[in-house]
Amino acid sequence: MSKTTVSTLLKYKQAGEKFATITAYDASFSKLFADAGIEVILVGDSLGMVLQGHSDTLPVTVDEMAYHISSVRRGTADTLVIGDMPFMSYTTPEQTYQTATKLMQAGANMVKLEGGEWLYDSIRGLTERGVPVCGHLGLTPQSVHLFGGFKVQGRQQEQAEKLLNDAKALESAGAQLLVLECIPADLAKQITEALTIPVIGIGAGKDTDGQILVMHDMFGITPGKPPKFSKNFLTEGGDMRGAVEAYINAVAEGVFPGPEHTF
């Protein structure tokens, strides 16, 4: 398999081919996922919850992210590795550049930030300096205290319009990829169609260009109650490699996410 870049994903979007992506945090799983055919890996700040046992992602630090990104990078050379910028590590453009430097030097190919139009200057500045950016809208977990819990976003008309405008602002700032988390499927479809860049969904229905799953949810080992939009693929896959392949095929065939995973 050759190197995956954002232009690979753009071609999938244009061809209407749905692609599966997944989180990973270490070299062993990143190699397993790459060998099974995963082309995009997110080193998510979800590691604060699934690795560290916190109840949200806020405690995660830049150095912890860099450590896990470097491990994931050692497991696979050709995968597009996206690194999450953790809570409060991108409050100004200057701080954003410092954080991005650490994540890119650790081996990321792209960084991901949670937020809308307020990030315009930071995203523009990153891309001008050679750092590819992935946006993240909807249920942005770093705002869990503002939202009052991990709750579906964009259900009211006004919120939905703001999300569409934010998505367009991120694209015009230079973001090359966008994650939509926990929003109604019809809104995710509308945003995906309104943008040129590929859109990856989690709890956002079947009509985004790609899907992402937290690896622990795919294996059914999530501490606590697994989110409604997630699925344990280990049962049908038989072993870990088979689970990843079952997930990739289910996304490609449009059978995951199903109505039971959708808001």
Ligand X SMILES: Nc1nc(=O)c2c([nH]1)NC[C@@H]1CN(c3ccc(C(=O)N[C@@H](CCC(=O)O)C(=O)O)cc3)CN21
Catalytically active residues are 181
* Residues of this chain, 100-159, that bind ligand X according to CB under 6 A: 139, 141, 150-152
Q: Which stretch binds ligand X (CB under 6 A): 3-11, 71-79, 98-106, 223-231?
A: 223-231
Contact assessment for residue 81 and residue 43, using Cβ atoms and an 8 Å cutoff: yes
Ligand-binding annotation for 94, yes or no, is no
Distances (CA, A) of 191 to 4, 183, 188, 208: 24, 11, 5, 9
Contact assessment for residue 135 and residue 163, using Cβ atoms and an 8 Å cutoff: no
What is the DSSP annotation of 153-202?
A: ---SHHHHHHHHHHHHHHHHHT--EEEEES--HHHHHHHHHH-SS-EEEE
| Residue 116 neighbours by CB distance under 10 Å | 18
List the one residue from 13, 20, 24, 46 that touches ligand KIV (CB under 6 A). 46
Residue 217 near which of ligand KIV, ligand X, Mg ion, none (CB within 5-8 Å, type-dependent): ligand X
Q: Which stretch binds ligand KIV (CB under 6 A): 40-48, 97-105, 160-168, 218-226?
A: 40-48
List the one residue from 21, 32, 39, 44 that touches Mg ion (CB under 5 A). 44
Backbone angle region of 13, left / alpha / beta, with phi > 0 → left and psi within -120 to 50 → alpha: alpha
* Residues of this chain, 190-209, that bind ligand X according to CB under 6 A: 202
List the one residue from 27, 228, 232, 249 that touches ligand X (CB under 6 A). 228
- Note the helical H segments in the chain: 6-15, 27-36, 47-50, 62-75, 93-105, 120-128, 144-147, 157-173, 185-194, 215-218, 234-237, 240-252
List the one residue from 39, 84, 181, 209 that touches Mg ion (CB under 5 A). 84
Both tokens of 37, joined, read: 């055919």
217 binds ligand X (CB under 6 A): yes
Binding mask 144-173 vs Mg ion (x if CB under 5 A, - otherwise)? ------------------------------
Q: Which residues bind ligand KIV (CB under 6 A)?
A: 23, 42, 44-46, 84, 179, 181, 202, 212, 214
Binding residues for 3-methyl-2-oxobutanoate: 45-46, 84, 112
